[in-house]
Every structure is written in structure tokens, then in C-alpha cells.
Amino acid sequence: MAVEAFYWTPSDTGVQALFVCRSWSLTKTGPLFELTATFEQVPR
């Protein structure tokens, strides 16, 4: 569950919007880590 919303400007629109991270996971493969996250735009 999201804790705090943040503003981000997507490069495809150039318009600042408010987002939250709904879920994330961290996977370690050898010496490497992979971070996967799902973001959702929310109303201001």
C-alpha cells in the first residue's frame, strides 16, 4: 500500500502529476539487484 504520494513529470507528456507506488519487489540474482515497481497516478 502506498505511504506518500509524490509529484513526477513524465517525459511523454511533460505535465507534472501526482503518483503513488502501489507495489514493489526486489530480486537478487548473483551480484545484481532488480527493483520492479508499479506506479499509479492519483487525483491531486
Domain boundaries, the chain: 6-41
Residue 3: per-residue pLDDT? 79
Q: How far apart are CA 13 and CA 8, in angstroms?
A: 11
Residue 1: per-residue pLDDT? 64
Q: How far apart are CA 41 and CA 7, in angstroms?
A: 10
Per-position pLDDT tens, the chain of length 44: 667 999 999 999 999 999 999 999 999 999 999 999 999 999 98
Check residue 34 and report its DSSP letter: E
The residue whose grid cell reads 501526482 is 18
Q: Which of 22, 20, 12 is nearest to 41 (CA)?
A: 20
